[in-house]
A and B are shown apart, each in its own frame.
Chain A
Amino acid sequence: MDQTLLALLNARRRERRAAVVVTNLGDGSSRLVGDGDRLGDDPLHVEIAAALRSGKSGVIEKDGGEIFLNVHVPPPRLVAIGAVHITQALIPVAATAGYDLIVVDPRTAFATPERFAGTTLLADWPETVLPGLGIDPYTAVAAVTHDPKIDDFAIVHALQRQAFYVGALGSRKTHARRRDRLLAAGVAEADIEAIRAPIGMDIGASSPGEIAVAIMAEVIEAFRRRVIDTGSAAP
């Protein structure tokens, strides 16, 4: 692989843009095709488009030769709304699972660099910072402030941007009230159904550390078992 191609690929990956490295296994030559490139004239446009949609890498046969399509889709990341104790516990858990963690909380008493050393911490309202984060189908959003003034916007925004996971802290009673608020705000019933609440896989978690593990487990499951659109039918 050409050094320039590798640099271009890494630049795209940093920008959270999908790309496919197309390698001819016969002669070892490679080229880079990106999300958003015009695929119309590409002899492999059907295969590349399918690979970009599915996110699955693999070898294909073409004209008697083998071609490897290595798909690079953005790594999943976790946005936590609320710089609370659970979120502090999420720092090492998310890192272990390979997720970048971004913490958002407008309450400066919670969102202190001391409590979140080494983590991306945005001490501002979700309304202000979330649109700039580019929430996408590779992003999970966990709302854990317990405060509708902070959580609700983030939840609705994450649903609109098709985050692969939207979780919200709070009891069933709290969630029932949330449900009423979101319905009143015009959020579709099916979208509300997609919210994971009470948050976290049901492992009887109690301490902040345990709840962090339960949230992470649920996020991992949501990502690994997400339904992949293969493009066989129009949505």
Chain B
Amino acid sequence: MTDRTLEAQDVLAVAERWAADGRPVALATVIETWGSAPRPVGSHLAIDGDGLFEGSVSGGCVEGAVVSEALDVIADGRARVLSFGVADETAWRVGLSCGGRIRVLVERIG
């Protein structure tokens, strides 16, 4: 059961498998939260070169923005830290409407 859960649902296991298959992979990680952020610090979202993703860094509010940023990270290999929150124009547009603020590290696996 442990193995099955790890292999089937676990974001880090998915990222490892994708990378082992030779797919370009980026990993997004929630590193800080303030207020009512939907996913705790340490939560992961794995993204491949085609924009396929597994996991979550919010309740679905900012995943779209993180995925598009991840494609840039895959392209240039440079890790970055993204900030989302209600006070932030971009965040408002992408809709972190829960009132929380989060910082997300996006890095390439490889």
Cβ-defined contact, B2 with A25, below 8 A: no
Contact A10 B13 (CB under 8 A): yes
**B85-110, CB < 8 A from A:** 103, 105, 107-110
A228: interface (CB < 8 Å): no
Number of chain B residues whose Cβ lies closer than 8 Å to a Cβ of chain A? 27
| Distance between Cα atoms of A13 and B32 in the complex (Å) | 22
- Docked-complex contact A6 and B15, CB < 8 angstroms: yes
Residue of B6, B20, B78, B105 near A14 (CB, 8 A) is B6
How many residues belonging to A are interface residues under a CB distance threshold of 8 Å? Answer: 31
Contact with A along B25-45 (1 / 0, CB 8 A): 001010110000000011000
Q: Which of A2, A6, A58, A77 meets B41, CB within 8 Å?
A: A58
Q: Are B78 and A6 in contact (CB under 8 A)?
A: no
* Choice from B1, B12, B16, B79 contacting A28 with Cβ under 8 Å: B79
Whole-angstrom CA separation of A10 from B46 in the bound complex: 14
Query: Which residues of chain A (69-116) have a CB below 8 Å from chain B?
Result: 70-72, 75, 77, 98, 100-102
Whether A57 sits at the interface, judged by CB under 8 Å, is yes
Return the chain B residue nearest A119 by Cβ: B1
CB nearest to B29 among chain A residues: A70
Per-residue interface assignment for chain A, residues 1 to 13, with 1 indicating a CB less than 8 Å from any chain B CB and 0 otherwise: 1110011011001
Q: Is A59 an interface residue (CB 8 A)?
A: yes
Among A59, A77, A98: residue with most chain B CB under 10 A: A59
Interface residues of B (CB under 8 A from A): 1-3, 5-6, 10, 12-13, 15-16, 19-20, 27, 29, 31-32, 41-42, 78-79, 81, 103, 105, 107-110
User: 5 tightest CB-CB pairs across the interface, nearest first?
Assistant: A28-B79, A57-B42, A57-B41, A100-B1, A68-B31
Known: A59-B31, A68-B31, A77-B2. 10 other contacts (CB 8 A): A1-B107, A2-B109, A6-B15, A10-B10, A30-B107, A57-B42, A58-B31, A59-B103, A72-B42, A101-B1
A-B contact pairs, 16 of them (CB 8 A): A1-B107, A1-B108, A2-B110, A6-B12, A6-B109, A14-B2, A14-B3, A30-B107, A58-B32, A68-B31, A70-B29, A70-B31, A70-B42, A75-B5, A100-B1, A102-B1
